[in-house]
Amino acid sequence: MKAHFAWAFFFVQRRAYGRKHMNRYARRKNLVMKLSKWIGLCSGLALAFLYSAAIPAAAQGYKAEKVALPMPQELSVGLRDVLAGDAFRVTGPDGVLCEVWVRKAVPSTAAANPDKSIAFAEIAEGTLVGAIRFPSSAVDYRGTGIRPGVYTLRYALIPEDGNHLGAAPPQRDFLLLGPAADDTDPGTVTRDQTLDISRKVTGMRHPTVWSLSPSNIGAPELPAMNHQEDPDCWMLNFPLAFVGGKTVSAALVVHGQAQN
């Protein structure tokens, strides 16, 4: 009788211990599952943050469109006569960044054995390529602030000297801004005259420069924007027509600057 009682007592105690042990295991398992969910959520948020931080420029969403706009009255009659009627408008997170009018046909010269660092050897320095309007303040490729207004765009090459190492892309081609009120003749001027005109924009010894390069975007897709990571900048891709009928795709940096 005592043996039966002892076995019964042992069995009841074992079941009670088993339930207690199982409850403790269940609580631990539930805690582990909750911790796993929180870790997974935090990891996902961290990855999302790192991803968004890694591509801040691409998320800004600059875009380009061809629009029919009256030419700015700030431009002389002579300039308005040589520019195409439609403009290329670039918009970004804060609205319109700029509006660009390109010349109907850019004068070209024979370029024999051109320097490989020059992308548009057929354009003479000082040639008028177009005009640009900034509705609000802008920053050029060197990081120089530009006031709102209308400016001419003339072609120039960055000097090959030690002061400009690393300041330019693989090519030396740039467009320099000039005040519309001071640059009224569509004819080609000298390099020094182009620099002097552009210095009136900055009020400094250095002119305001905007990188110009060839584009690999086809004509049917133009105008278009593309983002470059090194340096971090946005480029307006547009068709550039020359006297004689030749047309190429060009890209002008309109947002971003050199990392030097």
- Per residue in 60-80, pLDDT (tens digit) is 589 999 999 999 999 999 999
What percent of the chain has pLDDT above 70? 71
Residue 82 in contact with residue 103, Cβ under 8 Å? yes
Residue with tokens 């295991």: 25
Q: Give how many domains the chain has, as a whole number.
A: 2
Are residues 44 and 156 both part of a single domain? no
Indicate if the pLDDT at residue 254 is higher than 50: yes
45 and 90 belong to one structural domain: no
Phi and psi angles of residue 258, each rounded to the nearest 5 degrees, phi first: -65, 150
pLDDT of residue 51: 35
Q: Could you tell me if 45 and 93 lie in one domain?
A: no
Same domain, 159 and 146: yes
State which residues form the domain around 157: 59-256
Give yes or no: residues 94 and 43 share one domain: no
> Are 196 and 224 part of one and the same domain?
yes
Same-domain check for residues 47 and 65: no
Do 63 and 94 belong together in one domain? yes
Domain check: are 47 and 93 in the same one?
A: no
Looking at the structure, do residues 179 and 155 belong to the same domain, yes or no?
Answer: yes
Give the pLDDT of residue 127.
98
What pTM, to 2 d.p., does this model score?
Answer: 0.76
Residues 99 and 44 in one domain: no
Give the span between the Cα atoms of 118 and 214, in whole angstroms: 10
pLDDT for 231: 83
Is 80 exceeded by the pLDDT of residue 147?
yes
Report how many helices (DSSP H) and strands (DSSP E) the chain contains, helices first.
3, 12
Evaluate if residue 145 carries a pLDDT over 50: yes
Q: Are residues 63 and 49 in the same domain?
A: no
Q: What is the pLDDT of residue 113?
A: 60
Sorted by sequence, the CB contacts under 8 Å of residue 38 that are 6+ apart come out as none
Among 203, 200, 197, smallest CA distance to 183 is for 197
pLDDT at residue 115, as a whole number = 81
